[in-house]
Amino acid sequence: MLAMPATSSDLEKEQRWREQVEDSIMDGEAVDLVVEGQEIFAIYTEAEDGSDKGMIVVHGTGIHPNWQQVVQPIRVGMAGHGWNTLSIQMPILHNEAQYEEYVALYPEVPPRLRAAEAFLKDRGIQTLLIVAHSQGATMSSYYLSRHPSDAKGLIAIGMGATQKDSHLNSAQSLKKITIPVLDLYGDDDLPGVLDTADARMESSAHNAQYSQQMIKGANHFFDGMDDELLSAVAGWAHQF
């Protein structure tokens, strides 16, 4: 077999994640998104009230669609708030990969998010939001600033803007986004999130539907604060 290029997502790691996660899913079901000939793991959770609203849930660096911090609480909890959720596997690298190494994976982001949008539209979703954490938020802002999308809004959780490549920098991406954005973070978040909050706000000066919300006592992963996280997400999403 030919080795995958070094700049591609680690598909073997993606498969290992799936094998570890799939049998432990208590809410929702594992589904496949076909992206450029590859089957990509995702978890679909139907809303309890049969609504036509949907959320794409995007995880952070190197993890999976059922991660216990931020990702799983949102994908399950928001189903109870009337949102069908689709948590998708994003491109990942080996465990020791440095943050900047992920730059090479960004071309793989748009096809996955487009496939997620198509999946939800095929199930009758009329109102679509993207909810993304950490580097997943950076990936999502990159996508929304450069590609057509059916998403009506973005909830970016713990999004920094420290990327050295201006093409990928979240603050630069925000300059091109005009849909509603909630920039959500904790007052004990990572330095790269806290130190760039002003830059993200300044980059969104053109967008009257951009807002920041800082949750007191929350760290980057909202440890012990799932209820506060869900309350903020659900409260903002209620406008749609």
pLDDT digits 0-9 by tens, 148-202: 999 999 999 999 998 887 788 999 999 999 999 999 999 999 999 999 999 999 9
- 37's CB contacts (< 8 A; 6+ apart) are none
In the sheet that holds 210-219, the strands lie side by side as 29-35, 38-45, 84-88, 53-58, 127-133, 153-157, 181-188, 210-219
Q: Three-state DSSP class for 174?
A: helix
How big is the CA angle at 19 (ends 15 and 20), to the nearest 5 degrees? Answer: 115
DSSP letter for 203, please: H
Q: What is the pLDDT of residue 142?
A: 96
Q: How confident is the model at residue 69 (pLDDT cuts 50, 70, 90)?
A: very high
Q: What is the pTM of this model?
A: 0.93
Token readout for 109 is 């982001």
**Residue 18: pLDDT over 80:** yes
**Residue 23: pLDDT over 90:** no
**Residue 6: pLDDT over 70:** no
Average pLDDT of the residues of the chain: 92
Token readout for 14 is 């993606």
CB 121 within 8 A of CB 113: no
**Nearest one of 154, 155, 157, 152 to 121, comparing CA atoms:** 152
Q: What is the pLDDT of residue 7?
A: 58
Q: Which domains does the chain have, with CATH numbers?
A: 11-237 (3.40.50.1820)
Q: What is the pLDDT of residue 49?
A: 82
Q: How confident is the model at residue 3 (pLDDT cuts 50, 70, 90)?
A: very low
Q: What is the pLDDT of residue 183?
A: 98
Q: What is the pLDDT of residue 9?
A: 84
pLDDT digits 0-9 by tens, 71-84: 999 999 999 999 99
pLDDT digits 0-9 by tens, 209-230: 999 999 999 999 999 999 999 9
